[in-house]
A = this chain, B = another copy of it.
């Protein structure tokens, strides 16, 4: 066998190089707009090698998509389900962690939302964000605090204030540096505003 190695050097193995390249190109251009040749070139390998390792564009895409969805949920789920955090603590942690994640992965929201819209059937069953949220400690606390407001409205506002700048970055912000700076200062603003909204 010509196994690349045992455990070390995995981050530079061909397979890993392809995954890294696919992650980059897919999230940047979306499924239909990326050509397998783009990924191969980005990975510095032959096109046939991509199919040797992953059988097809579709298979490779599924892999990346699952990875990205887990990345998004790994930040949300532990927080909204943590019974030890108060409503205000949840909001603060959520905003802080989510903006940090998005600063490192600015393409993530538009990519994920775009692909879900492009193929709703493929995610209808797998993704039950609504159900998970419905039964969360977060929603329970929201209902308790403000029985007069549907929790979804508050959640959408919080997510909107947090995620939307990364979706509309191209249009609303100048250079990348001021954007990052403003996203940092935005953490405190959103937290404060969300608290205010909870009281009003």
Residues of A within 8 A of B (CB): 29-30, 32-33, 110, 113-114, 116-118, 120, 123, 127, 129-130, 149-150, 152-153, 155-157, 159-165, 167-168, 170-174, 182, 185-186, 189-190, 192-193, 196-197, 200
Contacts and interface: CB of A to CB of B under 8 A. Distances in A.
Contact of A182 (B118, B153, B165): B153
Given A110-B117, A113-B110, A161-B161, A172 B196 contact: no
Secondary structure of the A contact surface, majority rule? helix
Copies assembled: 2
B164 A159 contact: yes
A14 to B, nearest CB: 28
A61 B84 CA distance: 52
Contacts of A123: 170
Contacts of A110: 113-114, 117
